Amino acid sequence: MTLTRRTFGKSLAALTLATTLSGPALAEETIKIGVLHSLSGTMAISETILKDLILWQVDELNAKGGLLGKKIEPIVVDPASNWPLFAEKARDLIERQKVVAVFGCWTSVSRKSVLPVFEELNGLLFYPLEYEGEETSKNIFYGSSVPDNKAIPAVEYLMSKDGGSHTRFILEGTDYVYPRTSNKIIRAFLKSKGVADEDIRENYTPFGFSDWQTEVAAIRKFGSSGKKTAVISTVNGDANVPFYKELSNQGVKATDIPVIAFSVGEEELKGLDTSQLVGHLAAWSYFQSIDTSQNKDFIARWRAYKKDPKQVTNDPVESAYILFNLWAQAVKKSGSTEVAAVSKAIVGESVVSPGGNTVTMNANHHVTKPVLIGEVNARGQFDIVFRSAPIAPKPWSPHLPENANRQ
């Protein structure tokens, strides 16, 4: 009986030790990251590809040994185009899943929803979309453009001789913070250039909007004044499909009223008959049609991973790629996944983008990028018609009086 008790005691102690070790030890075997993109709902048309991009980058990095001797473990969640759910999922990723960084969000309303969570819990969000600016956070790194290094140069192009010398503008957007704030900045810029209020039309529709007949008719009417008119579109998500179809149905051609889109790229064009949209425009810092050795290699590797020889790339894909690699470099440089260490190490780090640009993370957590303008062609791609030099980002727009002394 004594031997049995002694044996049992030793076994219990060994079991307790094993259990104690297995929890933290197993938890430390991988580096967990969160992937926070809508895989259902109105934004799935745009965001699903970004989830796939991160998983691809994880696979490539793990094939090289991972980071700090550990494999990367992606935790994928679907906030389902539901803005409050983004915040719930972000909290769960940080608090329960113990991720060291999150790659995600598309719309500004989703980013605004999660921002307080990341600041409260001191997490890191890597956000790959161009957005309206008017924000900085120590817990967010922004991988794309703001109005000052995208929207404003794009509008300047429309007003130039090469861009058609347009003097009348329709600001067409989805009804949320990114279009409304961007258009506030664009309107202020247009007025500074002498464009009268009566030559600016502003309209907003809900997410997922599909009944475009009346609005496209209004666009046609506004464009019939005799002045050269262009549409500046911040329409987001799957609403773009019926919007462009209705433009085609009503015969709105780029030669008459060109649309320049800030949220439509190669992925969104996949669902459209682009033969009817030839000449309409988009502004990004990357297009799949960029002819560089880096981009050809990027596309080939991406298509091999997707097992699809027709898989497209786009600007948000490139931005997500840049952010993931900047994060990985910062982890290697600092020898840590801790927020403070990574945040310090990433500033000044650079990545050569698929587009061939050296993209550097600035101290304001934004990156320096060029702006490119592409024309839709019948193949569902963009012919690049304008390319700027890399432009340093100004998150707080100088075109708004309230930002006069903000950096």
Domain-located, residue 130: yes
Domain extent at residue 227 = 148-290+372-403
pLDDT in tens, 8-31: 444 444 444 444 433 443 446 999
CA–CA separation, 326 and 332 (whole Å):
10
Domain-located, residue 62: yes
- Residues 298, 343, single domain; the answer is yes
CB atoms closer than 10 angstroms to residue 184: 18
pLDDT grade for 6, boundaries at 50, 70 and 90: very low
- Residues 83, 184, single domain; the answer is no
CATH, residue 115: 3.40.50.2300
- Residues 55, 86, single domain; the answer is yes
pLDDT of residue 70: 98
- Residues 269, 299, single domain; the answer is no
What average pLDDT does this structure show over 40-52?
96
Domain-located, residue 366: no
pLDDT in tens, 28-42: 699 999 999 999 999
Domain-located, residue 327: yes
- Residues 136, 160, single domain; the answer is no
pLDDT in tens, 223-272: 999 999 999 999 999 999 999 999 999 999 999 999 999 999 999 888 78
pLDDT of residue 273: 86
Q: Is the pLDDT of residue 1 over 70?
A: no
Domain-located, residue 181: yes
pLDDT of residue 271: 77
Q: Is the pLDDT of residue 287 over 60?
A: yes
- Residues 136, 156, single domain; the answer is no
- Residues 188, 275, single domain; the answer is yes
Q: How confident is the prediction for the chain on average, in pLDDT?
A: 92
- Residues 276, 296, single domain; the answer is no
- Residues 301, 274, single domain; the answer is no
| CA nearest neighbour of 164 among 283, 286, 279, 244 | 279
pLDDT of residue 10: 47
What average pLDDT does this structure show over 274-290?
94
Domain-located, residue 7: no
Domain-located, residue 19: no
Domain count, the chain: 2
Domain-located, residue 8: no
- Residues 267, 297, single domain; the answer is no
Q: Is the pLDDT of residue 123 over 80?
A: yes
